[in-house]
Amino acid sequence: MKKKILIVLSFLIALCWAIFFIYTKKTEIHLAIIPHFMLDTTKVDEFYSLIHNKRYSEKNPDAIVLISPNHFFWQKWNIATSCNDWTLRYNSEKINSNQFKNLPCENDVFKTVWESTRISEHGLWEHFRRINKYFAGTKIYPIVASPKALNYTDSVISQIQKMRWNILVIASVDFTHYLPEDITFEHDQQSIQVLQSWTWTKKDFHDLDVDCPSCLYIMNELWKFSGQSWKFWYRDSSSTIAWKDMGEENTSRVFMYYE
């Protein structure tokens, strides 16, 4: 009888310590803005390597929240996650969704073809292979956001802040589209200026010339919560990569992180 009591007491003590650890552990958030436009993949891989070496050379994050514009179904949901857990068979990376139970779920971004999971949202799948390369085995929580759905972002921001993990949040965002390089450069500088400031409003983010203002607004609010410093790393475009002005075929990319 005494042995059983000791076992029960040991279990209860261990359970109390586990609960105490979970609820006293602070959320540690690191942020990165990485494009999904892959005209030149070299800089993308360099930037992933930089983030890994700066923050996660010894231990991967507990989870990665990957936020993408909802390119194809933006009229259906404002903010959504996957309805199920998915394993991408081409790289064995586990995709999770259950952390965001308050969000509507959307499986249109996940397509099953020929017994292998295909991702129709390129803002997500362009990053999965690199997450698998630099952060193998880390849980991924995907979110798709309608570009202008800034008024629906509060729930996502709140849930990320309450995760109580070491989290890497990646915003998969391309910047200015379809404009000559001189105008594109000017628009990018305006966007970068907004991202550097604590004082800009939802309207300021709404008017940014990027493919997902709502994604960047989420990042900006998480930046305020984390108290980190803003770091600009690199900027390029179709025109700078091709060494000629691509005019209406131009798309720009900005790489940023917070530490």
Q: What does the block give as tokens for 129?
A: 């292979």
Q: Report domain extents, the chain.
A: 27-258
Kindly state the percentage of the chain with pLDDT values over 70. Answer: 74
Q: Please enumerate in sequence order all residues whose Cβ is within 8 A of that of 42, keeping only pairs 6 or more positions apart, or say none.
A: none
Helix (H) or strand (E) holding 129: helix 122-134
> Is the model's pLDDT at 114 over the cut of 90?
no
Q: What single-letter DSSP state applies at residue 249?
A: G
The answer to whether the CB of 150 falls within 8 A of the CB of 217 is: yes
Query: Among 14-28, 132-146, 165-179, which range has the highest average pLDDT?
Result: 165-179
Give the tens place of pLDDT for each residue, 192-243.
Answer: 998 887 777 888 899 999 999 999 999 999 988 777 778 899 999 999 999 9
> Is the model's pLDDT at 8 over the cut of 60?
no
Rounded CA-CA distance 63/48 in Å is: 15
Pairing of strands 79-81, 139-145: antiparallel
For the domain spanning 27-258, the CATH number is 3.40.830.10
- Helix ranges (H only) for 99-196 are 122-134, 154-161, 181-196
The whole-number pLDDT of residue 179 equals 96
Q: Which residue has the higher pLDDT, 166 or 227?
A: 166
Q: What is the arithmetic mean of pLDDT over 184-191?
A: 96
Q: What does the block give as tokens for 91?
A: 């790289």
Confidence of residue 70 (pLDDT cuts 50, 70, 90): confident
pTM given for the model = 0.83
